Structure 1
Amino acid sequence: MNLAADIQQRLLQASLAARAHSHSPYSRYAVGAAILDEQGRIHMGANIENAAYPQGWCAEATALGAMVMAGGRQVRAVLVSGPGPDIITPCGGCRQKLREFAGPELLIIAADPGGIRQHWTLAELLPYSFGPDHLKF
């Protein structure tokens, strides 16, 4: 998917702004996510940790929840930002969550405070995925 540079910059700014709201007192690894929906709206999310570690949730899941609550049903692009310098990608669980609302062609962009670092399609990060289309009878 070819995404205009101005939209990528809007996603970057939203994701970095979301990082500022991260609740990450245990790992101190703030993550932000910005999702572009089918209506051209951007939805933000940050990771929210919990003292009972498996009970926390990822930035992508938070952004997906915001999208659904706002009436969005399809993800057109997602930008995930971490603190750097290592490139961050959605975890396996979030890749599957994104698959629920997008197809293999979904653009996933990685960034940090220095800017956009890399991009992939969902198919590259989650090959041979299982999605809603598999459950149509």
Structure 2
Amino acid sequence: MDFGSFLTVPEIKVKVVTYRDIFQDKAMIENRFGEEYRDRSAVIKLDPADLKQLSVKKGDTVILKNSFGRVVVRAEESGYETSHRGIAYMPNSPWSNILVSDDTGGTGVPKFKDISVTVTSAKGEKVTEPGF
């Protein structure tokens, strides 16, 4: 065993807010199972300080997990000037839906705007394929 096997991978807890994206919608209409749709949908946008804390660079894969599921997506910087550590953004898609609670509180509408997840680096892992 080497020394590195005893080090833990950095992880952070974030709240995920999902959103609709017109470019993602266009890609979905053209080919729901195509590369462009996956590239626009299987992504999480994080604050630059959160990326640094995770030791992750733009384009690296990360693992998102909570009690409802686990998914691997690409990490990107959010691009917002105002810091928003601990808050992340994902397009509404099959990848974000993996993490959504099935409890609707009697409303029939899932809670897409307040998803708690743990984020860790997914070095060497590929983005989760559709059909999970």
TM range (shorter): under 0.3
RCO higher in 1 or 2 (8 Å CA, sep ≥ 6)? 2
Q: Determine which structure has the larger strand proportion and give its number.
A: 2
User: Whose Rg is larger?
Assistant: 2
TM-score (normalizing by structure 1): 0.27
